[in-house]
Structure 1
Amino acid sequence: MKFLKNKITGITIVLIVILVALSPWIIWHFKPDRHLDVLVFDKTVPQNNYREHKGFIWLLNSFKYTKLNGDKYGLLDYFGFFPEPNYKYKIKPLPKDLSKYDLLYVTDTYGVYDRDFYGTSKNIEGERSQKIYGGTQSSEISSIKSALENSNKSKTLIVEFNSLASPTDTKVQKEMDQLLGLKWSGWIGREFKTLNKNNEEIPRWVFRNYRKQYGKEWNFTGSGYVFVKNDDTLMILEKRKDTTKDMTFKFSPKGQEDFGIKREVGYYYWFDIMEKVNNTESIADYTFFLTESGKDKFKKFGIPTSFPAITESKIKNHITYYFSGDYADKGEFPVVYQAVGLPKINSLLISDYGNTDSFFWKIYAPVMQKILDNTYEKKSSETKTASIN
């Protein structure tokens, strides 16, 4: 009898453990879908990996946001450049009328170039080549602006790097600045694990421009940052020699209050240096920690040691965000997304510093969840009010 009782207890414990382990998947499947009409605009799709918006689509599905008809969002649910077999492509332009959408997300308008599309599977050498399609257009900004200014239905607009810098025309870039309540400094930058010439991720034209600007050969070997201005001016920041720690991303007091995230993390990819204007608020900032030599370089080129990473502004009853970095850009994701708390679990498995995955799971994922939730709640509230009236 005692043996049977112990066996039943053991089986019960095993079943409880299995149930607890499966609970994220069970809860996810019982959660109701939430319908949002989302528009994704991505011009930078030279290959069919869709990495400039893949991360956002994965999160939409993980958070159970669906189309109005209940279908899930897929990698092909976007406007922009569509690569096809045999070096063919099609372009799906941004609609003129964007009034029906709840959320507009401009993930990247840098575009597609000959070498990216017709060359190897990726532009390993980063050589500049002829543009096939890219750059933000004035007509596109007009469509977005019209949707925000002429619609009573609240919308959320997110614009992300690179949608302001080259190849976007200067006049158009200023139109986008005005829309977002920002002013671009003309500088972009990126961290590289090694500045050695053998690093295939560093564009080859950087070495030529450096020789032309400084009159000497590129001889950097350690890790560091490459800054490029819109007139091709270069500034190189070497880690340990010019910095005391990695560039950090940290939420402002408002950002901490709005998003509930207080941690400071490293950021290790492309970014641009923006200035706030008018009533634009900083949600988060990048900060460089410099040695004397680093301070001298920043002073020489007029680069601030701290500048906005995420900004927020309002147009009527609409809210706009600018992400000063390539936040959605990520290639690989778990095959399974149907589990509650999966992004949070992923964030706990990696450190705050040292890799790009850390930023995606610890910052981008919770920020996007909050923005999506806020957009959905505002939509639901307006729908309820309209039905009462």
Structure 2
Amino acid sequence: MKRIFTEEFKVSFGRLLPFLFILIFIPLFSYLLWIVYPAKEMEILVIDKTVPTDSYREHHALFWAFDHMKIQNQAGELYDEGKDYFGFFPDKTPSYGTSKDIRQLSESELLKTASILDILYFADTYGVFEDDFKKVDSEEISKKIYGGLNRGDINLLREVAAQNKTIIAEFNTMASPTSVGIRTEFENLMGLKWTGWIARYFDEMDTTVNSDIPKWFISQYVGQHENTWVPAGPGIVFVHENGSVEAFSNGLDYFGETPKIRTQRINQHGFKLPEIVPYPDWFDIVLIERDYQVISYYDIEPSELGKEKLRNMGLPRYFPAAVIKDVGKGTFYYFAGDFSDMQNSIGSPRFTGLPMLWRGFHLVSDYTDRESFYWNYFYPLLAQILEKTYEEKQSD
């Protein structure tokens, strides 16, 4: 009888061992580490009203981080992105879905919710509109189905702030379709002031090449600028709530192609983040009270012409990107960008060390790679905030 394990088999198997180790043993070890890693108990309430599909793109990345860090609620359960939030829940009915709103809570329920919370997170309050379901790019404003900050949100925010909890809000929390009165209350509670401007980078302003530029922006810009359009090439568009629009051309009004998020290596709160990260998505331009500390800021590197344009628009040279304010034992954060937006699935979170691995695969300088921004900037920022909040809870 011939020997099963021939010398040739042993040589071949020896060559395969490193690959088997990488493909099987390392992931298995990483998963087992996640299993035995102790859970962290924190009550987190996420508000996301911009949920037209079950991809949950405006909060999927948040819940990935919660799961990866094994953050559980008081019942000892991991957070479920499909149900553990307040906002819009899409379905196939003629009404497109249902809403779970803070206004549905009684006063006693709201007070109880605020008392047990550790973190209140406003992920996206813009909402859902009929065009989100019709897949139509119309020049007219689509009819709102659900969205905007409301009285219930403000009441919860006020109570959570009074109890010195951690509050995090992102881009568009206080913008359209939120009413001016509700926005003003939000600004006063948070110590922020929206300038009315939002902005976004486009890699090509030639409308015959780039169909991603909104038709309404094109028509408004041409109408406000004597029937002229901007030069081809990269650019940044600015939109004001009053309908005014502006555009900056790379090499003419600004330099460096994409807006940059800059973070000082040594900052007061010790956040460890890359010093420069390109950011091509929507951001709002806000003014902050003096007791805020800037974690990161936007730099579009304007030319002299660009600086003059900014002055005429009533805007500063630099814009806050991520800011922090300590309020008693509580902390307020504002992210002036659509940071948590993640259209694609980023895989299972239940493997220890994944963020470090993915940072090695995604270049921080690649602005076309949305995951690069998440792994290199937003996840590290969010993870440090969650860890800081948990440590403070443990020390109380």
**How far 1:143 sits from its partner (Å)?**
1.6
**How far 1:262 sits from its partner (Å)?**
4.3
Change (3 A) 1:352 1:329: same
**How far 1:295 sits from its partner (Å)?**
2.6
How far apart, CA to CA, are the structure 2 residues paired with 1:10 and 1:254? 48
**How far 1:19 sits from its partner (Å)?**
4.2
Structure 2 counterpart of 1:112: 128
Q: Is residue 303 of structure 2 the alignment partner of residue 291 of structure 1?
A: yes
What does 1:243-282 correspond to in 2, within 5 Å? 243-245=254-256, 246-252=258-264, 255=267, 257-282=269-294
Deviations 1:296-336 (A, max 9, x none): 32233232221211111133311110000000001113322
Structure 2 counterpart of 1:57: 63
Deviations 1:110-140 (A, max 9, x none): 11112113x12xx545752111111112331
Aligned partner of 1:181 among 184, 191, 205: 191
Structure 2 counterpart of 1:377: 391
Structure 2 counterpart of 1:80: 87
What does 1:1-389 correspond to in 2, within 5 Å? 19-20=25-26, 22-76=28-82, 77-88=84-95, 89-94=97-102, 95=105, 96-97=110-111, 98-117=114-133, 119-120=134-135, 123-125=136-138, 127-149=140-162, 151=163, 155-198=165-208, 199-218=210-229, 220-245=231-256, 246-252=258-264, 255=267, 257-353=269-365, 354-355=367-368, 356-382=370-396
**How far 1:16 sits from its partner (Å)?**
6.9
Which letter does structure 2 place at the counterpart of 1:134? G
Moved more, 203-212 or 366-375: 203-212
3-state SS in 1 of match to 2:298: strand
3-state SS in 1 of match to 2:332: strand
How far apart, CA to CA, are the structure 2 residues paired with 1:184 and 1:242? 23
How far apart, CA to CA, are the structure 1 residues paired with 2:342 and 2:94? 24
How far apart, CA to CA, are the structure 1 residues paired with 2:207 and 2:49? 29
TM-score normalised according to structure 2 size: 0.86
**How far 1:21 sits from its partner (Å)?**
5.7
Which letter does structure 2 place at the counterpart of 1:231? N
- Uncovered stretches (5+) of structure 2, i.e. residues with no partner: 1-6
Structure 2 counterpart of 1:386: none
How far apart, CA to CA, are the structure 2 residues paired with 1:366 and 1:253? 14
TM-score normalised according to structure 1 size: 0.88
**CA-atom RMSD in angstroms:** 2.4
Cα pair 2:265 2:273 within 8 Å, conserved: no
- Uncovered stretches (5+) of structure 1, i.e. residues with no partner: 383-389
**How far 1:243 sits from its partner (Å)?**
2.1
Give the count of matched residue pairs: 371
How far apart, CA to CA, are the structure 2 residues paired with 1:336 and 1:110? 28
Moved more, 96-105 or 211-220: 211-220
Cα pair 1:80 1:91 within 8 Å, conserved: yes
Cα pair 1:252 1:285 within 8 Å, conserved: no
**How far 1:107 sits from its partner (Å)?**
0.4
How far apart, CA to CA, are the structure 1 residues paired with 2:90 and 2:21? 48
**How far 1:218 sits from its partner (Å)?**
3.1
How far apart, CA to CA, are the structure 2 residues paired with 1:49 and 1:126? 26
Identity %: 33
Which letter does structure 2 place at the counterpart of 1:305? R
Which letter does structure 2 place at the counterpart of 1:312? I
Which letter does structure 2 place at the counterpart of 1:116? D
3-state SS in 1 of match to 2:392: helix
How far apart, CA to CA, are the structure 1 residues paired with 2:276 and 2:212? 26
Change (3 A) 1:315 1:205: same
Deviations 1:271-307 (A, max 9, x none): 0111111411111111121233323322332322212
Cα pair 2:200 2:236 within 8 Å, conserved: yes
